[in-house]
Amino acid sequence: MIPLSSTERCRSGQAGFTLVEVLVAVALVSLVLTALYGLFGGLSQTQQQLRDEAALYHQARVLCDRLARELRSVLPPGGDDGSRFSAGFDSRGNPYLQFASLSAVSPGAPAGQAIAVRYALERLDRNAPATLRRYARGLLETRTAERGLRVTSAILALQWRFHDGIDWRDDWDSDRDGGLPQRIELRLSLQQADQPLHLLTAFDLPLAGEQD
């Protein structure tokens, strides 16, 4: 057997050491890639949650903007012209709000015509989120829309409250209560992936102060 020279022994040792380094490097790269995958996966999930939340906020903002515009020019109720202001619960226990406004819009109705508006919660399954729909027609028209416009969905809870100048009330009837409330409060709970989104806003009715 021919003995190895010192140079050959050194090269043999270096080759074995380099193989260990490669294995360690591969393991480290795998760990880093796994960590990066988890990080980017978490970021992607967070981004999706933020997009979903932004979409819910957008729906709520559209609803609030529309309500604020319509309620600023709500008509004081009077007679049998359909301008009655009422709010409460329908036969299924779902909340609704109806009024007449000069700034509301209804398809096919002439500009500037008073519009009868009704916001009604539609819940097909008691265990599923509900949808808020808006029904609108000209105040002097007799027709009613078969399917209202969907304003916002994923509603877990919706509550209207009405201030009469002294106390808050859960319902309102202009025939019974004599005119318009001073302020309307809206509470919304919208479904999210992790936890509900709770919103609270209020609307003043400028024409309420002009009632006799």
Domain residues for the domain of 129 are 55-204
* Domain-located, residue 17: no
User: Is the sign of the CA dihedral 108, 110, 116, 119 positive or negative?
Assistant: positive
Structural domain contains residue 150? yes
Distances in Å between the Cα of 57 and the Cα atoms of 48, 51, 63, 137, 190 are 14, 10, 10, 27, 9
pLDDT digits (tens, 9 = 90+) for 148-200: 888 888 899 999 999 998 999 999 999 888 889 999 999 999 988 778 889 99
pLDDT tens track for 91-126: 888 999 999 998 877 766 666 678 889 999 998 887
Number of independent structural domains in the chain:
1
Would 191 be classed as within a structural domain?
A: yes
Asked whether residue 209 is domain-assigned, the answer is no
Q: Is the model more confident about 19 or about 113?
A: 113
**34 located within any domain:** no
For residue 134, what pLDDT is reported? 93
Partners of 98 in beta bridges: 86, 118
Q: Is residue 64 part of a domain?
A: yes
Percent of the chain with pLDDT over 70: 74
Interior angle at CA 66, CA 55 and CA 149, nearest 5: 75
Q: What pLDDT sits at residue 49?
A: 74
Q: Tell how many helices (H) and how many strands (E) occur in the chain.
A: 2, 9
Is 16 inside any structural domain?
no
The answer to whether residue 147 is domain-embedded is yes
